[in-house]
Amino acid sequence: MTLIHLFDGTTDARYGKALIPAFAEHAKYRHIQCTPSPGGIDMLTYEIVKAAEKESWNAARRQADILQFVPGVLNRVGTEFLGAYTFTLTEKDLYAGDLNWGFGCVLPDGNNGKHLILSTHRFKDLAALTHTAIHEMGHMFGAARPGRRNTEHNLGSHCTNLCVMQQKVTVPEMEKYVALLASRNDKFCLDCQTDLKNYC
Ligand SMILES: [Zn+2]
Ligand SMILES: [Zn+2]
């Protein structure tokens, strides 16, 4: 069983609820439990995200710095999350290093833990948010394994098949691709499904 600790800092429950189909997609390949439940109200984790947003806020850019944000969440709740899987959801726009902005990413903690952060800021369409959550969780669980056939290295290892693990860097490009995958029951290609099944 894989436990994911959710830190939902959004004020609109629709964002948390949009994660439910993303967890369901991954539940095809591993037994996942998410706590607290997505789309519910959990004031403690909400306040943790709000405090980390403030600390990582770059007023000149009007964006939060991912590299300060994620440790800000984890350090507030102690080291019990080292080696764990966490998922932080924020309404703030994100950037990291040289990147102008990003939907989100997964940061490893050096202790086999993985820490996903995802921003709702650039999405008007909840289906695109769900798609990106599936994609980022794919990074968390080994999809598009580096060096595998039909992958490319472009801000991380990505799939070149018709697959949720394809890299999309603009919102229109992403929304178009979400529509293309809409009729598919499985959002991961067979290569990525194998990666997910073999990840441990
Ligand atoms: Zn990616
Ligand atoms: Zn794939």
- CATH number of the structural domain spanning residue 101: 3.40.390.10
Fill in the DSSP letter of residue 191.
H
Query: Taking the complete model, does pTM exceed 0.85, yes or no?
Result: yes
When pLDDT is averaged across residues 24-30 and rounded to a whole number, the result is 97
Q: How far is CA 55 from CA 17, 47, 86, in A?
A: 26, 12, 19
pLDDT digits (tens, 9 = 90+) for 13-22: 999 999 999 9
Return residues with CB closer than 5 A to ligand 1 (ion): 156
Asked if residue 57 has pLDDT above 70, the reply is yes
Asked if residue 77 has pLDDT above 80, the reply is no
Task: Check if the beta carbon of residue 29 is closer than 8 Å to that of residue 197.
Answer: yes
Structural domain containing residue 155:
2-198
Asked if residue 12 has pLDDT above 90, the reply is yes
Q: What is the mean pLDDT of the chain?
A: 95
Q: Residue 32's closest CA among 67, 61, 2?
A: 2
Asked if residue 78 has pLDDT above 70, the reply is no
Domain count across the chain: 1
When pLDDT is averaged across residues 8-15 and rounded to a whole number, the result is 96
Q: 69 alpha carbon to ligand 1 midpoint, in Å? A: 19
Fill in the DSSP letter of residue 64.
E
Q: 43 alpha carbon to ligand 2 midpoint, in Å? A: 36
Q: 103 alpha carbon to ligand 1 midpoint, in Å? A: 9
